[in-house]
Amino acid sequence: MLGRRLLTAGVLIVVFVLILLFFPIWPLCAVAIGVIWLAGWEYYQMVLPGTHVAERLFYLLLAALAPVAAARGDAGYLAASLSVPVLAISTLYLFRIASLEDRFKELSCAVFGVFYVSFLLSHLLLIRALPHGKAWLFLILIVTYIGDGAAYFAGTSVGTHPLYTLLSPKKTVEGAVAGLLGCVLAAYACKYTFFGSLSGTHAFWVALALGASGQVGDLVESLLKRSVHVKDSGTLLPGHGGILDRIDSILFAGPVGFYAARLIQ
Say whether pLDDT at 28 is over 80.
yes
- Of the pLDDT bands very low, low, confident and very high (cuts 50, 70, 90), residue 215 is very high
- Name the 3-class secondary structure at 233: coil
| pLDDT at residue 117, as a whole number | 96
Which carries the bigger pLDDT value, residue 6 or residue 206? 206
Separation CA 234–CA 222 (nearest Å): 13
Report residue 138 CA to chain centroid gap: 15
Residue 15: count of CB within 10 angstroms of its CB: 11
End-to-end CA distance of the chain: 41
| pLDDT at residue 235, as a whole number | 75
pTM of the predicted protein model: 0.92
Lowest-pLDDT range, 14-18, 125-129, 176-180, 198-202? 14-18
Q: How far is the CA of 125 from the CAs of 26, 99, 119, in angstroms?
A: 10, 39, 11
Residue-averaged pLDDT of the chain: 90
Report residue 57 CA to chain centroid gap: 20
| pLDDT at residue 181, as a whole number | 97
- Of the pLDDT bands very low, low, confident and very high (cuts 50, 70, 90), residue 5 is low
pLDDT digits (tens, 9 = 90+) for 73-127: 889 999 999 999 999 999 998 887 667 778 888 999 999 999 999 999 999 999 9
Decide if 187 contacts 206 (C-beta within 8 A): yes
pLDDT digits (tens, 9 = 90+) for 115-165: 999 999 999 999 988 999 999 999 999 999 899 889 988 988 887 888 888
Say whether pLDDT at 14 is over 80.
no
- Helix 243-264 with 133-157: angle, nearest 10 deg: 130
Name the E strands within the chain: 162-164, 168-172
Query: Which of left, alpha, beta for 229 (phi over 0: left; psi -120 to 50: alpha)?
Result: left
pLDDT digits (tens, 9 = 90+) for 160-181: 888 888 888 888 999 999 999 9
